[in-house]
Amino acid sequence: MVAATLVVHRAVLTRTTSMSELALGVHVPGDRPLAEAADRGAGLIQMFVGDPQSWKKPAARADADDLAKTELPVYVHAPYLINVASPNNRIRIPSRKNLVTAAEAAVSVGATALIVHGGHVGDDESIEVGFERWAKALDNLTVDIQVLIENTAGGGNAVVRDIANFAPLWDAIGSYNVGTCLDTCHAWAAGQDLEGSVATIVDACGSVDLVHLNDSRDGFDSRRDRHANLGSGEIPEGLMAAVVSDAGAPIVLETPGGVDDHRADIDWVHRHCGH
């Protein structure tokens, strides 16, 4: 049944989305993101607007107007510290506040969306508690920007390590302005079926809205989140290319290295995905 679903979905994408029209870009350093994107030949920017390891509200950016005016789509990744599903009030409440300030900062640079990891509940809690906590966090948002929830690599108590959990999560939050981000390294490391991953998310949420296209330094179901450059890791190249084809979504490379490494990864997408 999964294979049949994939075939049907791919056929629909062929009729409605040209691969050459999909935005393809890179997560770039945040100090000069437009120049970094130009150096790489990127058609999309993903960036942090502040310190990804801090609870502090991001400072106003001097380049906010330039980012808001650029023709390149801009995606903002929220700080790594955010875990709105945590049972610990000292983490969950600051996470809600940090989600608000990250969303406000993303709007200030004209971002298309804000990407946030799904987070973790307590070791002795059911995953369903995390769905409820996500709804409460989204209730606090004060600006209108789509929040893309990203699958994660490890932890049995992770809200969306198992991508099948997108379905009950969407039952709780699908009425909000939310979407999905599928990370190939995370799915592989979490022991997920990459071949059927897009179909699973589309069936649950309607679409994959962004792909984080990353190879993995570690084997299948390793639970280790260590990204590799495309074609140099453990994920079969055909599986990564199939995710791109099936999703029909903008692509962000979060791969290691600098300009030359990222140019090589962009070339990989062109060669393997007809992009």
User: What pLDDT score was predicted for residue 156?
Assistant: 81
Domain chopping of the chain, boundaries: 2-273
Homologous superfamily of domain range 2-273: Divalent-metal-dependent TIM barrel enzymes (3.20.20.150)
In 3D, which of 76, 211, 228, 65 has the Cα closest to residue 143? 76
**135-165: pLDDT as tens digits:** 999 999 999 999 999 999 988 899 999 999 9
Query: What is the band of 271 on the pLDDT scale with cuts at 50, 70, 90?
Result: very high
Q: Coil, strand, or helix at residue 141? A: coil
End-to-end CA distance of the chain: 28
User: What pLDDT score was predicted for residue 275?
Assistant: 58
Q: Which DSSP string do the residues of 213-251 spell out, in sequence order? A: --EESS-TT-----EE-TTSSSS-HHHHHHHHHHH---E
Query: What is the band of 19 on the pLDDT scale with cuts at 50, 70, 90?
Result: low
User: What pLDDT score was predicted for residue 155?
Assistant: 82
pLDDT above 90: percentage of residues in the chain: 90
pLDDT at 195 over 50: yes
Can you say how many angstroms the Cα of residue 147 is from the centroid of all Cα atoms in its chain?
10
User: What pLDDT score was predicted for residue 70?
Assistant: 97
Residue 133 CA to residue 130 CA, distance in Å, equals 5
Alpha helices in 23-154 (DSSP H): 33-40, 64-69, 89-108, 127-139
Cα torsion 13, 14, 19, 25 to 10°: value is 10
154-158, 200-204, 228-232: the lowest-pLDDT one = 154-158
Token digits of residue 242: 């199939």
Letter string b/e over residues 16-36, b meaning 16 or more CB atoms within 10 A of that residue's CB: eeebeebbbbbbbebeebbeb
Residue 64 CA to residue 80 CA, distance in Å, equals 22
**158-189: pLDDT as tens digits:** 999 999 999 999 999 999 999 999 999 999 99
Residue 159 CA to residue 151 CA, distance in Å, equals 8
pLDDT at 129 over 60: yes
Cα torsion 190, 193, 196, 202 to 10°: value is -20
17-21, 100-104, 194-198: the lowest-pLDDT one = 17-21
User: What pLDDT score was predicted for residue 6?
Assistant: 30
Residue 41 CA to residue 266 CA, distance in Å, equals 8
Token digits of residue 17: 């989305």
pLDDT at 68 over 60: yes
